[in-house]
Amino acid sequence: MATVTYDQATRIYPGSDKPAVDKLDIAIEDGEFLVLVGPSGCGKSTSLRMLAGLEDVDGGAIRIGDRDVTHLPPKDRDIAMVFQNYALYPHMTVADNMGFALKIAGVPKAEIRQKVEDAAKILDLTEYLGRKPKALSGGQRQRVAMGRAIVREPQVFLMDEPLSNLDAKLRVQTRTQIAGLQRRLGITTVYVTHDQVEAMTMGDRVAVLKDGLLQQIDSPRSMYDRPANLFVAGFIGSPAMNLIEVPIADGGVKFGNSVVPVGRDALATAADKGDTTVTVGVRPEHFEIVEQNGAAVAALSKASSDAPAGLAVTVNVVEELGADAYVYGTVEVGGAPKDLVVRVNGRQVPEKGATLHVVPQPGETHVFSTSSGERLAD
Ligand code: ADP
């Protein structure tokens, strides 16, 4: 087991003037499950491949434990990689596939057999050891690929979208299995995915990348509760956080017909930048409905004199999930229509075409600079 350190690690592909990975700084703890996530092309695979030794490092360094591995060949790094396309050898049995790397390394037969049997037990593959890959389900093949990595007892596991070939249901099952397995084995793991749900459910910590730049690294909970900038705010969470540009008002921000209080520090920072608006983030579950079709729902609406409080949302679509429902609607902000998603109680679902008035729940706003995208205070 070991720590993994990216120290200002940079990769610039030949012929490109922009780094694919730009001065990446990440310190991964011994035994930690770290997920690299971000949209396609953000540099996740490149970062992983730099750690694997499959990609040159053009600046900075990468360390595994105390060893500087920046320029070591892959075979000397003590890592094992599970790829998206797990490429099992079709003519070999499961056991031979799992033990192949050990055989190449000259490990005695009896020892290979023992290690393969141990790994098969952990992965629930014992009864399939004599089969060929074509006689396995997708999930079983995926576990064989995991087994191949486990038998090598590496210091670090590297996984590049290992679930992307599985169907949706199997993906959910397998992600729980992999996360559980990693915790049992305690082997430091770096895992790449474009799927933020996968990242949030599997990682001890999640690192969000965009355009080769690290945006935030945090526990899933902190990432959700306190996104560092507009990009992370919009990327983490499903349905995504609502991000609404609103004018700064005395003591808060103008939210339709209401002034919603937000931290003074945030407003002061925005004013220092010369901004007259901020972008307020509200998660779908953090709205309070103060009026529905003209009828007051909560006491809050008493704040209004004539006009109802908050933002008026015209309901376009309601997605019922049982306990809850998501209302997809339109609001008018600054004279332009904008989509908004509100989570409501599944037993009090508004009709299509209805008008809701909503305000954020107290303390559940995220305030970002409209100009720079950065989070302003808490
Ligand atoms: P991700 O895994 O997040 O989808 P990649 O790490 O594969 O992103 O790619 C990051 C950036 O580097 C992209 O702009 C991509 O086009 C570029 N890139 C990736 N591989 C190569 C390569 N072999 N040669 C040149 N550019 C590459």
Q: What is the pLDDT of residues 353-376, one digit of tens each?
A: 999 999 999 899 999 999 999 999
Between 46 and 1, where is the model more confident?
A: 46
The dihedral through the CA atoms of 211, 215, 220, 223 has a sign that is negative
Between 282 and 348, where is the model more confident?
A: 282
Phi, psi of 192 (to 5 degrees): -105, 135
The Cα 181–Cα 82 span in angstroms is 14
Phi, psi of 267 (to 5 degrees): -70, -35
Best residue for ligand 1 mutational test, from 6, 12, 13 (most atoms within 8 Å of Cβ): 13
Residue with tokens 């098969």: 120
pLDDT band, residue 298 (cuts 50/70/90): low
The Cα 290–Cα 127 span in angstroms is 59
Alpha-carbon 150 to chain mean position: 25
Best residue for ligand 1 mutational test, from 6, 46, 235 (most atoms within 8 Å of Cβ): 46
Say how many Å lie between the CA of residue 40 and the centre of ligand 1.
9
Say how many Å lie between the CA of residue 323 and the centre of ligand 1.
42
Q: Which of 35-44, 222-231, 305-314, 329-338 has the lowest mean pLDDT?
A: 305-314
The pLDDT tens digits for 91-120 are: 999 999 999 999 999 999 999 999 999 999
Say how many Å lie between the CA of residue 24 and the centre of ligand 1.
15
Residue closest by Cα to atom 15 of ligand 1: 41
Q: Which of 225-229, 233-237, 265-269, 289-293 has the lowest mean pLDDT?
A: 289-293
- Per-residue confidence (pLDDT) for residue 280, from 0 to 100: 95
Of ligand 1's atoms, which has the minimum distance to the CA of residue 45? 2
For domain 4-234, give the CATH superfamily. P-loop containing nucleotide triphosphate hydrolases (3.40.50.300)
Q: Within 13 Å, how many C-alpha atoms sit on residue 108's CB side?
A: 3
Residue closest by Cα to atom 27 of ligand 1: 13
Residue with tokens 């030794």: 53
Length of the chain: 378
pLDDT band, residue 85 (cuts 50/70/90): confident
pLDDT exceeds cutoff 70 at 195? yes
The pLDDT tens digits for 131-173 are: 999 999 888 998 999 999 999 999 999 999 988 888 888 888 8
The pLDDT tens digits for 54-64 are: 999 999 999 99
Say how many Å lie between the CA of residue 153 and the centre of ligand 1.
29
Residue 142: closest CA among 116, 124, 169, 166: 166
Say which residues have a Cβ less than 8 Å from residue 272's Cβ, sequence separation at least 6. Answer: none
For the chain, give every domain's residue range.
Answer: 4-234, 239-368
The Cα 77–Cα 67 span in angstroms is 9
Q: Is 71 exposed, middle or buried (0-12, 13-18, 19+ CB in 10 A)?
A: exposed
pLDDT exceeds cutoff 60 at 304? no
The pLDDT tens digits for 175-193 are: 998 999 999 999 999 999 9
The Cα 181–Cα 368 span in angstroms is 38
DSSP 273: T
- Per-residue confidence (pLDDT) for residue 170, from 0 to 100: 85
- Per-residue confidence (pLDDT) for residue 56, from 0 to 100: 97
Residue closest by Cα to atom 23 of ligand 1: 13
Between 292 and 274, where is the model more confident?
A: 274
- Per-residue confidence (pLDDT) for residue 264, from 0 to 100: 85
Q: Within 13 Å, how many C-alpha atoms sit on residue 372's CB side?
A: 13
- Give the mean pLDDT of the chain: 92
pLDDT band, residue 306 (cuts 50/70/90): low
Q: Is 16 exposed, middle or buried (0-12, 13-18, 19+ CB in 10 A)?
A: exposed
- Per-residue confidence (pLDDT) for residue 357, from 0 to 100: 93
Say how many Å lie between the CA of residue 216 and the centre of ligand 1.
20
Say how many Å lie between the CA of residue 45 and the centre of ligand 1.
7
Q: What pTM was computed for the model?
A: 0.91
- Per-residue confidence (pLDDT) for residue 366, from 0 to 100: 96
